[in-house]
Structure 1
Amino acid sequence: MSAFTESALLKKLSELNPSQQSIQTLSLWLIHHRKHHTVIVQTWQRELQNVPEPKKLTFMYLANDVIQNSKKKGPEYGKEFSNVLPKVFGHIGETCSSDKLLGSLGRILNIWQERGVYDPKAIADYRARMHRETNAGTTANAAGNGSETAAGHKHNHNSSGSGNKAERSEKREKRKHEERHMKSKRPRGSHHQSVSVEPPAAEAENGHTPPYLPLGEPPEPEELIKALTSIENSASSDALVRERIAKLPPEISEISCITKLEDKDKAKVLAKQVNEAVDLLNEYNARLSAEMEERTKLAAMLRDFQAEQKELLAQAEQRLDEHKKKLAKMLGLQKEIHDHLSNLPDLTQLPDVTGGLAPLPSAGDLFNTLH
């Protein structure tokens, strides 16, 4: 994984697009470099204020991904983003009027509130700033769980009706989200539940890839193994039931066979066979529907687990690279020490001085020697 520099971050933010791969890749990179979270969040905020309106939503999806998927590693990003989100939502409320943008941001706030990402009061404040409401409106909004806005405390944006229009759009998106949540709210395991989050249909128009929203934290290995094991005993692998269905007599599905009935007893026998076949097929179809839901949840679990493993792999590769560099330095130092030792004199080659050294000549002896 590439090293962190502010110029590298700016380049990656400029290349960011609404696809799942783009958002998830940059999110993993940011989480990997979370020790630079202060600079990263400040740069993200500054760049968000300068990008066009459609890309502001992509920036918010990126922040959402980082905030939710970094919780296991530490609270740095959650706290740092909470320092700038009030200004960010205020900026969006002042400069943006797109129903699509405001509705999508409303969905993100609903997810944060549902999953306890931020305090409900903070989320109510973000919502109020996005719709340019006063403090009194914020208080009323918080009391109503963010679903209603106090009348008389709104500021119009561009026109007198734009605030109401944006609010209606957000409420509509919230209702859709709650309906999807109630349909899909089934335990995924003993630890936590997975809430399926789908982008609005409008975001997949014009051939654009829908933006990515994480389903939740990566599952524990035991939970994933349990889900995989349950799939092994799924309806689609039940050979006995499929064989029973394949052996059903053809006359129970052919209307023309009714005309061939000769008496009441045969009609009763056929009716009994049809009823048994309907019960069998209804039960099997219900099992197949349940299997489809389980496989959808399993696919989400595998995706999140794979994303976490990729991040851990990148971290392991970085640590391996660091230790290889340290090993190279140690080997170089070892060679220098060996070379230094080989250049030192061999003490075993010096003359034996066990009996003591000869006395040094006196000054007189030296003088006489010179003459």
Structure 2
Amino acid sequence: MSAFSDSALLKKLGELNSSQQSIQTLSLWLIHHRKHHASIVKTWFKELQSAVSEGKKLTFMYLANDVIQNSKKKGPEYGKEFSQILPKVFTHIGETCTSEKLFGSLGRILNIWEERGVYDSKPINEYRGRLNKEIKDRADASSSGTSSEPNTNGSQGGGSKEKSEKREKRKHEEGKPSKVKRSRPQGVVEEKPSAGQNGDAGHLSPYLPLGDPPEPEELIKALANIENSASSDAVVRERIANLPPEISEIGCLSKLEDKDAAKALAKQVNEAVQLLNEYNARLAAEMEERTKLASMLRDFQAEQKELLVQAEKRLDEYKQKLNRMVAVQKEIRDHLSNLPDLTQLPDVTGGLAPLPSAGDLFNIH
């Protein structure tokens, strides 16, 4: 898992496409780096605003949907952070976009959020209102005849009125959840519904590991701490091994001859007890660290296996594309080999007589 940086985030957002694999891969990366959730959501919104294509804006919303739903089990950071920016997001889309597919897909996302309790009904209704506010304003302006937006035919608001009527109809249909959606919510990505967007709320994404995978730097630091742990402290272990046997054998008490010898033995016993208590505490802490490290290694390994599977899938896709390109290249070469070689044709320009002039044609002898 690559380390987080603003440049890496911008690059990944720029490379994002509408495929299930692309969305889920980036979603996993964002969830892994959720401690940067504030700057991530801020950059996400900035890039969504600057996206020229409405399809790209929809892809950004698919990504947000996947992150919001799949990060719930790890913490509320993304859900809370997105809730602060979503009103502006839906306002921006409502004012700048006109695609029926975009508004229909966003309506389904809102329905899914409401059904799964991702957000309460009140903010979701607010999102719907912001998304459709510009539509209502245009429809009201068109019906009153005061619209100042010219259409391609030179009339005022004719095309806008037709679009507004369609989108008002879509708004009415979205506000009334269908029985099909209630019984089996459909995936938000229409072409390829992802596992994080289907009806199985218990398995929102196949790409989430067992726990929170550690950063490589954290794993390296944990491994270094284990190397310097109590069990590796040869000096203390040698001190414990060289303790005199009389401090741990009760039978040696009978050999004490006077009070001074008993005091000396008691001092030795107290020092040994303190040494062993401190070492046992260090060993207990080491056991906790090793348990934590084992969990980190398990999660890191699970994540690497998942990334390996994804990389192998991409490799297979690229191999297939390469094979198709090689086949096209071969076909082009075969086609070129069947074309005539113009350099081998005879030179017919020098062997023909010059064309007669107009005087020669009309000269009567």
TM-score computed with the length of structure 1 as normaliser: 0.51
Partner of residue 27, structure 1 = 27
Alpha-carbon offset, residue 127 of structure 1 = 1.0
Partner of residue 40, structure 2 = 40
Q: Is 1:197–2:186 an aligned residue pair?
A: yes
1:307 to 171, 193, 207: 207
Partner of residue 91, structure 1 = 92
Q: Which one-letter code corresponds to 2:186 in the other structure?
A: V
CA 133–306 in structure 1, closer or farther in 2 if over 3 Å, else same = closer
Partner of residue 215, structure 1 = 198
Distance 1:68 1:103 in 2: 20
Q: Say if 1:58 and 1:211, in contact at 8 Å, map to a contact too.
A: no
The residue matched to 1:314 in structure 2 has which SS? coil
Distance 1:167 1:315 in 2: 48
Alpha-carbon offset, residue 14 of structure 1 = 0.5
- Residues 133-175 of structure 1, C-alpha deviation per residue, up to 9 Å, x if partnerless? 59xx8xxxxxxxxxxx9x9599989712323322323544666
Q: Which one-letter code corresponds to 1:36 in the other structure?
A: H
Distance 1:212 1:18 in 2: 14
Alpha-carbon offset, residue 182 of structure 1 = 4.4
> Percent sequence identity over matched residues?
53
CA 210–173 in structure 1, closer or farther in 2 if over 3 Å, else same = farther
Q: Mapping of 1:170-181 within 5 angstroms?
A: 170-172=171-173, 178-181=178-181
Alpha-carbon offset, residue 71 of structure 1 = 1.0
Gaps of 5+ in 2: 150-158, 236-365
Partner of residue 115, structure 2 = 114
The residue matched to 1:71 in structure 2 has which SS? coil
Alpha-carbon offset, residue 119 of structure 1 = 2.2
Distance 2:205 2:118 in 1: 20
Q: Say if 1:30 and 1:66, in contact at 8 Å, map to a contact too.
A: yes
Q: Say if 1:45 and 1:88, in contact at 8 Å, map to a contact too.
A: yes
CA 172–87 in structure 1, closer or farther in 2 if over 3 Å, else same = same
- Root mean square deviation of aligned Cα: 3.7
CA 40–31 in structure 1, closer or farther in 2 if over 3 Å, else same = same
CA 307–124 in structure 1, closer or farther in 2 if over 3 Å, else same = same
- Residues 176-217 of structure 1, C-alpha deviation per residue, up to 9 Å, x if partnerless? x63323444xxxxxxxxxxx42347xx43xxxx567752378
Q: Mapping of 1:329-348 within 5 angstroms?
A: 330=228
- Residues 319-363 of structure 1, C-alpha deviation per residue, up to 9 Å, x if partnerless? 5333124456x49xx99x9xxxxxxxxxxxxxxxxxxxxxxxxxx
Partner of residue 131, structure 2 = 130
Partner of residue 362, structure 1 = none
Q: Which one-letter code corresponds to 1:181 in the other structure?
A: K
The residue matched to 1:307 in structure 2 has which SS? coil
Q: Mapping of 1:177-188 within 5 angstroms?
A: 178-184=178-184
Partner of residue 8, structure 1 = 8
The residue matched to 2:75 in structure 1 has which SS? coil
Q: Which one-letter code corresponds to 1:81 in the other structure?
A: F
Q: Which one-letter code corresponds to 1:166 in the other structure?
A: R
Distance 1:212 1:101 in 2: 21
Distance 1:41 1:211 in 2: 22
CA 183–218 in structure 1, closer or farther in 2 if over 3 Å, else same = closer
The residue matched to 2:93 in structure 1 has which SS? helix
Distance 1:116 1:154 in 2: 37
Distance 1:104 1:71 in 2: 22
The residue matched to 2:44 in structure 1 has which SS? helix
Q: Say if 1:103 and 1:166, in contact at 8 Å, map to a contact too.
A: no
- Residues 113-147 of structure 1, C-alpha deviation per residue, up to 9 Å, x if partnerless? 1122122221111111111259xx8xxxxxxxxxx
The residue matched to 1:30 in structure 2 has which SS? helix
Distance 1:107 1:154 in 2: 27
Q: Which one-letter code corresponds to 2:223 in the other structure?
A: K
Gaps of 5+ in 1: 138-148, 185-195, 220-300, 338-371
Q: Which one-letter code corresponds to 1:93 in the other structure?
A: G
Q: Which one-letter code corresponds to 1:18 in the other structure?
A: S
Distance 2:65 2:142 in 1: 27
Alpha-carbon offset, residue 75 of structure 1 = 1.0
The residue matched to 1:131 in structure 2 has which SS? helix
